Amino acid sequence: MNSKRVLSIQSHVVHGYVGNKSATFPLQILGFEVDCINSVQFSNHTGYKIFKGQILNDNDLEDLYDALEKNDLIQKYSHLLTGYIGSVTFLKKIIEIIKKMKSKNPNLLYVCDPVMGDNGKMYVPKDLLPIYRDEVIPLADIVTPNQYEMELLCDKKILNIKDVWEHVNWFHERNVNTVVLSSADFGNFDEILSFLSSKSNNIKSTIKISKQGNGISFTGTGDLFAALYLAYSFENPNIIDAFEKTINTLQVVIQKTLESMPNEVKSGKRNIQPQDKELKIIQCKREIECPKGSIKAETLMK
């Protein structure tokens, strides 16, 4: 088996960086073969004034998987990564695929980024939530929700750090080994927090992250976060190191994206447009390969 090969099922855009476009390049330069199935193919992400494209249905997904299986390719994957899924039937088909892949390869690691919404707003059908909660999450080895997605899954608001650890335990009780909360905001103007919990290592850790860009919201950071953590944590016995590398690299990408914005945006002469905020992932190749940074995790328990 190729020890570093990912089957990534999530969205794709022709222009910009979300979904598979956000995840593939970092995984590749960190040594992973990446095979992509695009749940949707859009011209650009949906934050633009216009987007057009195609949506893959469950029968299309079944055809693709069936050919991979009949060509004896399924057992070659070290990881399955899922991100944006837009329909109930597609998500149900993914559940079938996860079970088939794990039966063929018990060592397969399933990384679930439960992409459902952010900033208090769902952008997938509400019918997907109970399927994620009851059927998908118990199959995952690693989950990387944001704060809103964690609240949706656990059906409870997160108001403080104590709430975070209670929510994390909800995942562990469903046999998820590693929970990485990509970001949590408790109203501090200057910083957000990220959390890591590993059941097998009995480790809980947190990182304080300085806010950049005066509250600018970037699209594709969650997809990049999941890919980076997958890569940095694989065959790395030090999961705290993987956590720190993920956060530091993501912060560099955001910083470089801010620096690359047009001067008229920086000076306030015109409002920020979606194209101004597209992540500068390619320009951060060196930093992704050799992550550095001063952001350190605080380990709470061993």
| H helix and E strand count, the chain | 10, 12
Cβ neighbours of residue 291 under 8 Å, at least 6 residues apart?
232, 245, 248, 249, 252
The question of whether 223 is a catalytic residue gets the answer yes
- Residue of 60, 141, 223, 276 marked catalytic: 223
* Residue 222 DSSP one-character state: H
CA-based nearest residue to 123, from 19, 22, 209? 19
How would you class 49 by CB atoms within 10 Å of its CB: exposed for 0-12, middle for 13-18, buried for 19 or more?
exposed
CB 89 within 8 A of CB 57: yes
Place of tokens 């769902």: 122
Cβ neighbours of residue 121 under 8 Å, at least 6 residues apart?
148
Catalytic (active-site) positions: 223
